[in-house]
Amino acid sequence: MAFWDEWKKLFNPGGKGGGRLKSGSLLLILLVVGTALLLFNSFFSFGGEKESPPAAPAEEAATPWTDQQMAAQLAAILSKIRGVGKVELFLTPGTSGRKELVTDMEQSRRQTSEGDSEGGTREIIEETTRSTYVLLRDAHGNEVPLVAEEEKPRYRGVLVVAEGVDDPAVKARVIEALQALLGLPAHRITVLPR
């Protein structure tokens, strides 16, 4: 109890000696108490774990697919069509994908006119252009360029060898699916029985 009595004496402005505590001492005590509370809060979290920011999209979405990956996924999708058995697929590449990145252009122009002692003048024009890509920082701190437009790879044609495409209705469904998935006209899709 002696401890609390001493604290009461420190904060008691009245009494025989008047206020024993000056404002500087009071500020020092408040600073110590505030620091102790901050340290206490940093060591003991009452709200549980703080939720981390949402994870970035899967890396597969950021990297372009290879033709083999695309063919494997198309074959897996086509094999789920009713009447279609085992499927093998070959894509004929047309153009690879293209990304147009956003650039920041900085142009400057400096014009200087000089005169000589004989009355002649000379004009100097300096033009400087500097172009840099605009970069964004993702949730993980990685810098990625800002994409203005992205063009997916295009294919010239596709060859499908599958079980069950002897039936014209099944073959028509396979051709229709490939037209929808690849954006190819029917004359660029060849479907053969296995």
**Total domains, the chain:** 3
Nearest residue to 194 (alpha-carbon basis) of 160, 169, 168: 160
The model's pTM: 0.45
Nearest residue to 110 (alpha-carbon basis) of 92, 96, 124: 124
In a domain, 92, yes or no: yes
Strands 147-151 and 98-101: antiparallel
* Residues 160 and 92 sit within 8 Å (Cβ to Cβ): no
Kind and range of the H or E element at 158? strand 154-162
In a shared domain, residues 87 and 158:
yes
| SS3 of residue 90 by DSSP | strand
First-last CA distance in the chain: 94
What does the pLDDT profile of the chain (194 residues) look like in tens digits?
676 676 666 656 555 555 555 666 777 788 888 888 888 777 765 555 555 445 444 444 444 567 788 888 888 988 888 888 898 998 888 877 778 888 888 999 998 888 888 888 888 889 999 988 888 888 888 888 888 887 777 888 899 999 988 999 999 999 999 999 888 898 988 999 98
- Domain that residue 21 falls in: 2-43
* Residues 109 and 126 sit within 8 Å (Cβ to Cβ): yes
| SS3 of residue 70 by DSSP | helix
Handedness of CA 73, 76, 80, 86 (dihedral sign): positive
In a shared domain, residues 72 and 161:
yes
User: In this predicted structure, what is the pLDDT of residue 149?
Assistant: 82
User: In this predicted structure, what is the pLDDT of residue 56?
Assistant: 46
In a domain, 169, yes or no: yes
Handedness of CA 26, 29, 30, 31 (dihedral sign): positive
User: In this predicted structure, what is the pLDDT of residue 102?
Assistant: 86
Axis crossing angle, helix 67-78 with helix 168-182, rounded to the nearest 10: 140
User: In this predicted structure, what is the pLDDT of residue 176?
Assistant: 92
In a shared domain, residues 85 and 162:
yes
In a shared domain, residues 21 and 84:
no
